[in-house]
Amino acid sequence: MDDDSAEIELLEQNLNKTRQISQRMTSILTSFDTRLVKLEKSILPLYTSTQKLKQRALNIDSALLKIDEVASSQEGVAVEEGLILRGPQPGQLEVYMGTLERLNAAIAFKASAADSRDNARLVETGAKKLTQLYTKLVAEGSSGSPPIGLEFTLTVLPPALIASLQPLVAFLRTLPLPSTHPSHPAAPEILATLKDAQRGYADMRGTWNRKALETHAKRLIDRAETLDGVTAGKDFGTWVDNLLRVAETEYTLLADLAPLPSSSLLASTYDALLTPLLTLFTDTLSSLTSLIKRSLHKYTFHALAAYSSLATSQTRWEVLFSRRGDARRDANELRDGLNAIRGVCLRSFPEFLVDLKMAATAPGKGGELSVGLADITVSTVKYMERIPEVQEAVGSALLSLGDGNWKMGDGKQIGKAQKSTLGEGDENTIIKHYIFDVVNTIISSLTTMSRTQRRGAFGSIFLLNNISYFRSRVLLNPTNPATARLLSKPTEESLNSNFRTAKAGYFDANFSPLMQALTEDVREKAGGSAWRAATKEKFTRFYDLFEEVGERHRMAKVLEEDEEGRLAVVEEVVKLVVPSLQQFTQKQRDKEFSKNPQKYIKLSTEEVESQIRSFYR
């Protein structure tokens, strides 16, 4: 028990000590708390002041950063402004375009109105500088003298120049416009600037191409007076083809290089570019038409060949020039030119027939001593030989004129029923009808001219020479085989019939008097001295006439250019004269019409035949 009490007492003592220690600690902590309260009250004003200083320090730092940013920005604007105002420098086009892109981006994303106005001003200036560069590059490729030569050379912008223009054009097409950037301050001015540049492009390229074509146009007109008609007409067609090639090439180039590629602006620009070329075309065609009208009979094939060439180009022309837009859709310079040339062609057919008719009465045609080829014979042959070369144009024009309406002054009307039977596709038929009238008109005129000869024998030689030549060149042995295919069956029959008539007239005028001298008359049948005198007179008359025929044929050559025809005529003359002379001579010898027959029989039949053959050598 004592031990337990001792332990309890010890625990109580320890507990008292612990309590005393706790009280002292509580007292100390209470003292600390009081002191902390006093310290907090002392430090709180200082803390509050320190927080204000920190905020001010932060504000000052922010202000300094803003000042630095503004200063840097102003310095960058000044640099960019200088770059824009100087314009694109060699090798720095990408830098220049990049600067404009940044300025446009700044306008799009910055709210400051003042900054946007300044940037818009710089963008507008930069756009003008770039369009000036664009115009300068186009001018470099459109200045100077085009290539000079007999053949036209198509000249476009050099490839290196196109390579320089392409990135520039690509950037110009990205510039802000009212249609794409309605809120951009510089959009209206940029649009006006690009329009001016595009108009300038059209003017420069149009003027350049006109110069390139104009030299050849002048040469074409100068040579037209001396060139063959078909060749001159084909030359004109080649020149029109070159003009169309230029127009096609320029449209492709414009589509690639136009700063404003919208369809409406492209059409108006293309129209402006084509205006100088179309003016040149109209002037050239007008000059050619004036030349043709000045002497239609001389330049008929100029008109027909030009008409043919233009008609061939019509579809291509309409497709190409429809790109000028709706405003010019009704304008068609080639169609107007075709109508003008077509009118001239329509006039040429009746006027040609009138010229053939007038040739029969014109002074100097088929003169007294001339039995050679008449001018109208040669010219008509040439006319018919050239028709196949422009056959399509001739057929088309004749169909427009109407079957038979080329007979001016004949008082003949073609009925409506007959007119309606011929239409598109009947070109060959109507050409054959026209050729029939040409052949009959030339034959009629040649016949009239032959009758104006005072001596019918010379007139018969003239008619035979001309009709034979005409028949040979257009029917039997044409230089152009296509000529014979233009002759209808009635035309061939007319030629052959008139050739036979001309040959019969030749024999009648030159050899009928000879044959009449060898015929018997009443005195021969009666016999006696009257018969002998008549026989002597007949021999004398025959040889006198034969001598005249020989002299005539030495002066007037028969079928000089037709050896085959000439040999055929020789044989016919020999068969006509020699047997009759031989029979008459033998008969009179047997009757002993004279004691000295050689006095009257001046030439033997062999000698007569030999002389006849010599007439045609």
> What local confidence, expressed as pLDDT, does residue 435 receive?
94
Longest CA pairwise span in the chain (Å): 234
71, exposed or middle or buried, with CB in 10 Å at 0-12, 13-18, 19+? Answer: exposed
> Looking at 61-75, 190-204, 211-225, which range is the least confident one?
61-75
Percent of the chain's residues with pLDDT above 90:
28
112: three-class secondary structure by DSSP: coil
Q: Quickly state the pLDDT bin for 279 (edges 50, 70, 90).
A: very high
Q: What is the 3-state secondary structure (H, E, C) of 350-413?
A: HHHHHHHHHHCCCCCCCCCCCCCCCHHHHHHHHHHHHHHHHHHHHHHHHHHHCCCCCCCCCCCC
Q: Quickly state the pLDDT bin for 184 (edges 50, 70, 90).
A: confident
CB 119 within 8 A of CB 185: no
User: Which uninterrupted H or E stretch holds 178?
Assistant: none
> What local confidence, expressed as pLDDT, does residue 78 receive?
61
CB 138 within 8 A of CB 205: yes
Distance CA(472)–CA(489), nearest Å, equals: 16
Q: For 122-168, how does the pLDDT look when each residue is reduced to its tens digit (9 = 90+)?
A: 888 888 888 999 999 999 988 888 877 778 888 888 899 999 999 99
CB 506 within 8 A of CB 615: no
Q: Which residue has the higher pLDDT, 173 or 123?
A: 173
Q: How many residues does the chain have?
A: 617
Cα 414–chain centre separation: 37
Q: Residue 394, Cβ neighbours under 10 Å: how many? A: 26
**Which DSSP state fits 296?**
T
Q: Residue 134, Cβ neighbours under 10 Å: how many? A: 23
pLDDT above 70 for 366? no
Q: Quickly state the pLDDT bin for 416 (edges 50, 70, 90).
A: very low
Closest by alpha carbon to 484, among 387, 376, 345? 387
Distance CA(437)–CA(566), nearest Å, equals: 28
Q: What is the 3-state secondary structure (H, E, C) of 341-356?
A: HHHHHHHHHHHHHHHH
> What local confidence, expressed as pLDDT, does residue 415 receive?
38
> What local confidence, expressed as pLDDT, does residue 372 receive?
83
Q: Quickly state the pLDDT bin for 524 (edges 50, 70, 90).
A: low
Task: Report the chain's terminal Cα–Cα distance, integer Å.
Answer: 195
Q: Which residue has the higher pLDDT, 176 or 52?
A: 176
Distance CA(271)–CA(251), nearest Å, equals: 10
CB 556 within 8 A of CB 510: no
Cα 344–chain centre separation: 19
Q: Quickly state the pLDDT bin for 367 (edges 50, 70, 90).
A: very low
145, exposed or middle or buried, with CB in 10 Å at 0-12, 13-18, 19+? Answer: exposed
Q: Quickly state the pLDDT bin for 369 (edges 50, 70, 90).
A: very low
> pTM higher than 0.85, yes or no?
no
> What local confidence, expressed as pLDDT, does residue 419 receive?
42
CB 421 within 8 A of CB 363: no
> What local confidence, expressed as pLDDT, does residue 110 receive?
62
56: three-class secondary structure by DSSP: helix
Tokens 């000036």 belong to which residue? Answer: 132
Which residues 6+ apart lie within 8 Å of 113 measured at CB? none
Tokens of 526: 């009666």
Distance CA(148)–CA(151), nearest Å, equals: 8
Distance CA(4)–CA(18), nearest Å, equals: 21
Cα 349–chain centre separation: 25
Q: For 20-47, how does the pLDDT look when each residue is reduced to its tens digit (9 = 90+)?
A: 888 888 888 888 778 778 777 777 777 7
Q: How far is CA 602 from CA 511, 539, 610, in A?
A: 18, 8, 14
Please compute the mean of the pLDDT values over residues 386-400 and round it to a whole number. Answer: 91
Closest by alpha carbon to 308, among 244, 237, 235? 237
In degrees, rounded to 5, the angle at the alpha carbon of residue 556 between the alpha carbons of residues 555 and 559 is 145
pLDDT above 60 for 410? no
pLDDT above 80 for 277? yes
> What local confidence, expressed as pLDDT, does residue 38 receive?
78
Closest by alpha carbon to 445, among 351, 380, 349, 370? 380
Closest by alpha carbon to 556, among 470, 468, 469, 615? 615
Average pLDDT, the chain: 82
Alpha-carbon Rg for the chain, nearest whole angstrom, is 56
Cα 447–chain centre separation: 45
The amino acid sitting at 157 is L
User: Which uninterrupted H or E stretch holds 23?
Assistant: helix 2-86
Closest by alpha carbon to 334, among 217, 243, 427, 235? 243
pLDDT above 60 for 502? yes
pLDDT above 70 for 450? yes
Q: Which residue has the higher pLDDT, 45 or 299?
A: 299
> What local confidence, expressed as pLDDT, does residue 196 receive?
94
Distance CA(191)–CA(173), nearest Å, equals: 10
